[in-house]
Amino acid sequence: MKDKSILSPSFEEVDKEMVAVYRDKTPLDRLKIASGLWRLSRNVLAGSLRFQHPDWDEKKIKAEVARRMAHGTT
């Protein structure tokens, strides 16, 4: 029998202290955090694609990153 945790996603419990930290942030601060995470995700995905497809040029990398980020696929 396969381990079901491998087959289905699970979420860790949210740390109550972190909830308090984010709750105290201003909307602008939360937006800055979200924007930073978006940029980080984009950069990590681009790096992964460069590694997986060394033959792709930067235009192809950027197009694939945009496609995946727009459709929620990494």
Annotated domain spans of the chain: 43-74
pLDDT of residue 6: 55
pTM score of the predicted model: 0.70
**15, 32, 47 from 20: Cα distances, Å:** 9, 17, 33
Q: Which of the residues in the chain have pLDDT under 70?
A: 1-11, 73-74
The first and second tokens of residue 6, run together, are 């491998």
Report which of 22, 17, 73 is spatially closest to residue 45, judged by C-alpha positions: 73
53 CB-near residues (< 8 Å, 6+ apart): 60, 61
| Three-state DSSP state, 72 | coil
pLDDT of residue 7: 55
